[in-house]
Structure 1
Amino acid sequence: MPRVSQLFFKTATVFFLVGIILGLQMGISGNHAAFPAHAHLNLLGWVSSAIFGIYYALNPVRARGRLPMIQFAVFTAGVVIMIPALYFLSLGNTNMEPLVGIGSFIVLAGVLLFTAVVFSTEA
């Protein structure tokens, strides 16, 4: 399996674990204010990262070169920046709003890089 696939699966697993813990914390406390962070972490961190990993595993030619690793780094950094900021924003810390926006645009850049990999004509 290509290294980028392994990295995506490893980070997806960590994001999934953190998402489950966050969900348990909300359920136990009865405070579900952070549900946007929980949902985004599970969808971006767990699901999207796993799908990226699957794509690269099924298309090892596309996993070659620097672009897939750059895409991994950019997307993962965006998730790591966005989710904690969204968590604190959801709990009422409005100072986090700029970080949520910055993280969101970094995630977008990661998705655009993935789109470039998928549509690339180079084999």
Structure 2
Amino acid sequence: MKVDRLFLLLGLLWLLGGMALGEHMGRTQDHGQMPTHAHMMLVGGVLSILWAMIYRVWSVPLGIIAWIHLIVHQAGAAVMIYALFGLYGEGDPATYGPIAGMSAVAIMLSALIMLIQAFRAKG
């Protein structure tokens, strides 16, 4: 399977997960995980789908850098969601804060990789 398709499929899974969390919050009237929900939808879902579209529409190379991009982004998103669940689930900020910070750096690195990839695009 190609990187662009994986970004799309994983993005859609993130969106479904975020929607499920949103539905749970609405049903229970407990909106304490709203930041987690937002990051799940935007970082996991929307950015993954955006990366898929950029790879496909602008013929961005799908070589090893694209695979590294996929891994960095998806790992960063997963760790970020884990850390936010901990932070907003009344976990210890001293424990979850640094994890959230490291995951944010991974997501920024993902955006930098996409910028590099965009410069390499043929279209």
Instruction: Tell me the TM-score normalised to structure 2 length.
Output: 0.91
CA contact (8 A) 1:75 1:106 kept: yes
Listed one character per residue, the Cα deviations across residues 60-91 of structure 1 (whole Å, up to 9, x for unaligned) are 3x133211111111011100101121122012
Report what 1:110 is aligned to.
110
Alpha-carbon distance in 2 for matches of 1:88, 1:30: 19
Q: Tell me, in whole angstroms, the C-alpha distance in 2 between the residues paired with 1:41 and 1:86.
A: 10
Residue 59 of structure 1: how far off its partner (Å)? 2.4
Query: 2: CA distance between counterparts of 1:69 and 1:51?
Result: 16
AA aligned opposite 1:21: A
Q: How many residues get paired?
A: 120
1:2-37 Cα shifts (integer Å, max 9, x gaps): 811100011001101110111011111111011001
Asked if 1 retains the 8 angstrom alpha-carbon contact of 2:55 and 2:62, the reply is: no
Provide the identity percentage.
Answer: 28
Q: Which runs of 5+ in 2 are unaligned?
A: none
How far 1:119 sits from its partner (Å)?
A: 2.0
**TM-score normalised according to structure 1 size:** 0.91
